[in-house]
A and B are shown apart, each in its own frame.
Chain A
Amino acid sequence: MRSRDIISSLFWAAMGIGICYGGYKLDLGTLHEPGGGFIFFWVGVIMIGLSLGILIRAVRVKAIKGEMKAIWAGISWKKMVSVLAALFIYAYVFTPLGFILSTIFLLIFLFKAVEPQKWSWAILGAIVSTLAAYGVFRLWLGCQLPQGLLGI
């Protein structure tokens, strides 16, 4: 029994059921004139079939001891979650704070988060990198970056 395949196949089977249902609700049409949900429905059916195939195979295979533990072994959850949280917060404050401020804060955090740098290095590195990115994307390429609090 392979735990990782059982978990993932159940997830994809549920996804397939959702897609089938969504396709059915959209209108399947006919074979002469397939509707907007035609492909969704049949792709959903295929996904369910494949997931069940993976599930059956996973149940038949001999269990690997400590398999799930091995997948997550050695992971620093604190680092991982904090980096992800910082990225989502960045997206949330990107428009109200503006590109420059939000990016400087994000980079200071990232420089300190994984393998901590000196504060002076982190702050200087963050400011220089942000200004360089601003120069490339805003000034050179003319991208519209949010101005936010600083108004630039």
Chain B
Amino acid sequence: MELLNYLEIGFSVALRPENLLYCFVGVFIGTLIGVLPGIGPVGAMSLLLPSTFKATPEAAIIMLAGIYYGAMYGGSTTSILVNIPGEAASVVTCLDGYKMARQGRAGPALGIAAFGSFIAGSLSVLGLMLLAPPLAKFALKFGPPEYFTLMVLGLTILIYLAHGSMPKALLMAAFGIVLGLIGLDTMTARPRFTFDIMELLDGVGLVPIVMGLFGVSEVLLNIEQVVRRDVFKTTIKGLLPTARDWKDSTGPIARGSVLGFFLGVLPGGGAVISSFLSYALEKRLSRHPERFGKGAIEGVAGPESANNAATGGAFIPLMTLGIPPNVVMAMLLGAFMIHGVTPGPLMMKQSPQLFWGVIVSMYIGNFMLLILNLPLIGIWVQILKVPYKILFPLILLFCLVGVYSVNNSVFDIYIMLIFGILGYLMKKFEYEGAPLVLAFVLGPMMENNLRKSLITSQGDFSIFLMRPLAAASLILAVILLVSPFIPWFSKKRAEIPKEEET
């Protein structure tokens, strides 16, 4: 009964004309950036963050969330038609989706990707709605030691799942923590690492760092390598899958939804891992595994459902604990803070309109995406044909103006450019940006909780081992950190599909 009341609040918020408009803009832009390689949801969210300053917190978060799950829909279009994934989570869709397109079945491939995404997206919102309230209640019992160790665990899982070298990912996380702590000390108000630069007193902004690492650096990489995007010339017809297609896809969609949702809760690349695991699972369960990679519709339905379900799962740690599990959620946390809302266990009580409004808007957004991605598929195919030489100056323009408009500061433009160069070099030298950004966001919270814990315990580190949840988190984090030295774990880690920057 209580849930129904909350849903009523949610619908009353989400159905306001202003919020519907923001939701539409969010999912539209999400699909657009999903279709366009070169800019991901993180870049797009940071670009559009300034546009939400005048909006209500509900409208702002509804739009930014829409970009995230909208990108997952859009990513499949490029995988199927061009064989280039718009998003990392759609990499596996290329395998069978593109083959289907070559066999003249682009329509059913796009159709099942959209329907599967819709069903999985809706189911994951349902899961979020049911799981978040009890988890938030439980989280009320957490103190600084639990928060500190949970953040350590979250960061460790992200590092564990990072592609390539773990020490490099750890190094990036350490650097991210340092960057996050630049500015005034929250306890003593003393400037730290500001080098007498006035603009650094407030710290380095999240938006310039993210835009630099994920926007400018990507443009620099694309300038040096001209990627040819030949849209497969085929008439897209019969978007509605046949009865046979549905029969083949029902199981994969259901399994992908469940798998995606639970893996989405985990820090670091839930959408990517779940799409790969769903593909592997379907291949293993299939009576004809030899069809996989040759145009099997199950190979599209499962992974596309899984990556969309993961987006819903990813909201759980952020909305109930206030801990972002990935870079996109870290960006969303930044947006919450700018609008004066602190996500966490109290959010549901203090801002029920925001909490339930965002959840219900995700249902509505999924409907909008279905319309955008089926009858209007032609628009996205046309957009795919825009050459990069025209696209890249516009991406740069939006990065420059977007960064400037956050604080009306030219200094932020310089920061973005410096991080653009750093991001470019990081890619060349095989370092990842995701641990840096997540640690940047978590750094100040980690420091605060560590200092509070140590003051409470009078400098006794055993406080982290005396409390069950804190001890469990810490032990798990240590196991993950030492696991690369154990051959069996090391082999298993190498088999996990990795998040290729957001």
A interface residues with partner B (beta carbon < 8 Å): 4-5, 7-8, 12, 15-16, 19, 22, 26, 30-40, 43-44, 46-47, 50-51, 53-54, 57, 71-72, 74-76, 79-80, 83-84, 87-88, 90-91, 94-95, 99, 103, 106-107, 110-111, 114-115, 117, 125, 129-130, 133, 136-137, 141-145
Contact = CB atoms under 8 A, between A and B. Distances in A.
B431 A54 contact: no
B417 A50 contact: no
B224 A145 contact: no
Interface of B: 50-51, 53-54, 165, 167-168, 170-171, 174-175, 177-178, 181, 185, 187-188, 190, 192-193, 216, 220, 223-226, 389-390, 392-394, 396-398, 400-401, 404-405, 408, 410, 413-414, 417, 420-421, 428-431, 447, 450-451, 454-455, 458-461
Contact of B50 (A40, A53, A143): A143
B417 A87 contact: yes
A75 B222 CA distance: 10
A111 B375 CA distance: 34
Nearest to A136: B51
Given A5-B429, A33-B455, A46-B174, 6 more contacts: A32-B458, A44-B178, A84-B417, A141-B51, A143-B401, A144-B408
A83 B399 CA distance: 14
Contacts of B413: 90-91, 94
Given A87-B417, A94-B413, A50 B171 contact: yes
Contact of A79 (B224, B396, B460): B224
B25 to A, nearest CB: 12
16 contacts: A31-B461, A32-B459, A33-B459, A43-B178, A50-B167, A50-B170, A54-B167, A80-B220, A87-B396, A87-B420, A90-B400, A107-B393, A107-B397, A133-B398, A137-B50, A137-B405
A125 to B, nearest CB: 7
A8 B174 contact: no
B389 A115 contact: yes
Contact of A110 (B165, B393, B410, B430): B393
Contact of A80 (B224, B417, B431, B458): B224
B225 to A, nearest CB: 7
Contacts of A90: 400, 413
B224 A40 contact: no
B430 A129 contact: no
A7 B390 contact: no
A22 B181 CA distance: 12
A129 B394 CA distance: 8
Contacts of B459: 30-33
Contacts of B420: 87
Contact of A22 (B193, B450, B451): B193
Majority-rule SS of B interface residues: helix
A75 B167 CA distance: 28
B392 A110 contact: yes
Given A32-B455, A37-B192, A54 B165 contact: yes
A145 B401 contact: yes
A2 to B, nearest CB: 10
Nearest to B48: A141
A94 B447 contact: no
6 closest pairs, A vs B, by CB? A31-B459, A110-B393, A143-B405, A32-B459, A115-B389, A36-B185
Contacts of A19: 178
Majority-rule SS of A interface residues: helix
A145 B404 contact: yes
B167 A91 contact: no
Contacts of A142: 54
Nearest to A75: B224
Given A31-B454, A36-B190, A137-B405, A76 B224 contact: yes
Contacts of B171: 12, 47, 50-51, 54
A40 B181 contact: yes
B417 A91 contact: yes
B167 A40 contact: no
Contacts of B398: 133
Contacts of B421: 84
Given A32-B455, A43-B174, A91-B410, A111 B393 contact: yes
A90 B400 CA distance: 9
Given A47-B171, A50-B170, A94-B413, A117 B389 contact: yes
B174 A50 contact: yes
A121 to B, nearest CB: 9
B178 A54 contact: no
A72 B220 CA distance: 13
B430 A39 contact: no
Contacts of A47: 171, 174-175
A43 B53 CA distance: 34
Contacts of B223: 76, 79-80, 83, 114
A150 to B, nearest CB: 16
Contacts of B414: 88, 91
B397 A129 contact: yes
Contacts of A30: 459
Contacts of A143: 50, 401, 404-405, 408
B177 A39 contact: yes
Contact of A53 (B167, B447, B455): B167
A46 to B, nearest CB: 5
B455 A95 contact: no
Nearest to B220: A80
B175 A141 contact: no
Contacts of A57: 167
A21 to B, nearest CB: 11
A114 B220 contact: no
A130 B393 CA distance: 11
Contacts of B389: 111, 114-115, 117
